Amino acid sequence: MKSSFVLLAALVGLAVATPTLPVKKRQVTLEGNPFQGRTLHANGRYRQEVEAAAGNLTDPSLQEAALKVADVGTFLWLDTISTIESFESYLTETGENEIFGVVIYDLPGRDCAAKASNGELAVGEIDRYKSEYIDPIAAIIEAHPDIAIAAVIEPEQQSAAGYREGVQYALSSLNFPNVAMYIDAGHGGWLGWDANLQPGAQELAAAYTGAGSPSSVRGFATNVAGWNAVQQVPGEFENAPDGQYNKAQDEDRYVTLFGAALAAAGMPNNAIVDTGRDGVTGLRDEWGDWCNVNGAGFGMRPTTSTVNSLMDAYVWVKPGGESDGTSDTSAARYDSFCGNPDAFKPSPEAGTWNQAYFEMLLKNANPPF
């Protein structure tokens, strides 16, 4: 009997002493169109904003429609170093058959220092961008090889100081098998001009090749936070006096033209198009008007059923309802574009929720919810 107790004690001691081996996470490897067979994840941050907005509605039918918006997959913007703290908690909510969308957006001198969206890093602070911004994001992604991720790299930054060095570092650092990266390429009204197509494509391709041609780079992103139609003939500004100098009068034509220029420059040329707020067109006085366009509506939902073989998917990158910039002329971050006649007023600071604007997007949604 005594020997039995000794044996039992030894076995118990062995069980306690044996270390628990960590469970090895499955490795997701993205090949081809990363959205095929996957649903864009409806991230928790936007869901919370939309559900709160729905709670402020008194019309039952509008409230029901608003709650449907909460289920639409939308990209998460990491637009400051502080937003990285919550990145992992949102990321780990992603389902096995979903893909998480994230926007990398904090280059020094961001948006050419435009007041409404100027970032926290000053021109010349590229080392901080690398060590305090990109490196922590890369560490989080590396810790979750089982989650498929689509990343839009630095929207609207082609002319920012340090663009090439910063984007090269981001591309090389985020080059993981479970990541598909799309470098932002503005939209047809920016790089679609005859004089801009080739130089713009060469700039993106230079960043790509300078980063060592990372295998996770899938192509480019267009119309991010924009308003352009995917297909519209004639285009919104096609009959303008200078329309003859821009053949990319909708995003379909832009993807074809810019995609060809990218391929010629030696870079992958598949695309994603932000359709989150392009449900209504013909609202802008000028093609370059970008701030809180009045009368806008939610656009096509995320899907891989696109009109162009180069397009991997329509996606929602900009969270509809978050402001593009304040209309308060006395504010330090006021940008004149947010005071234009075609801009919605009043509007709060960039990134801040605008209940009235969200309700307008919802009512004008095309297709409707």
Backbone phi and psi for residue 221, each to the nearest 5 degrees, phi listed first = -115, 140
Rounded CA separation 340/60 (Å): 34
68 among the known binding-site residues?
A: no
252 among the known binding-site residues?
A: no
Rounded CA separation 208/169 (Å): 10
Catalytic residue among 111, 184, 252, 274: 111
Rounded CA separation 67/53 (Å): 9
Structure tokens at 15: 């069980």
227 among the known binding-site residues?
A: no
**Catalytic residue check, 242:** no
Catalytic residue among 252, 312, 324, 335: 324
Question: Running DSSP on this structure, what letter comes out for residue 8?
Answer: H
State the Cα angle at 162 between 159 and 166, rounded to 5°.
Answer: 110
59 among the known binding-site residues?
A: no
Rounded CA separation 49/70 (Å): 8
250 among the known binding-site residues?
A: no
Residue 338 CB contacts under 8 Å (≥ 6 apart), including other chains: 116, 291, 292, 324, 325, 326, 327, 347
**Catalytic residue check, 289:** no
Per the listing, tokens 């008007």 go with 289
Break the chain down into helix, strand, coil percent, rounded to 5.
Answer: 35, 15, 50
316 among the known binding-site residues?
A: no
Rounded CA separation 141/137 (Å): 6
Per the listing, tokens 């996957």 go with 38
Burial of 224 (0-12, 13-18, 19+ CB in 10 A): buried
Annotated binding site: 77, 79, 187, 190, 290, 318, 322
Catalytic positions, written as ranges: 111, 324
Annotated binding site for substrate: 77, 79, 187, 190, 290, 318, 322
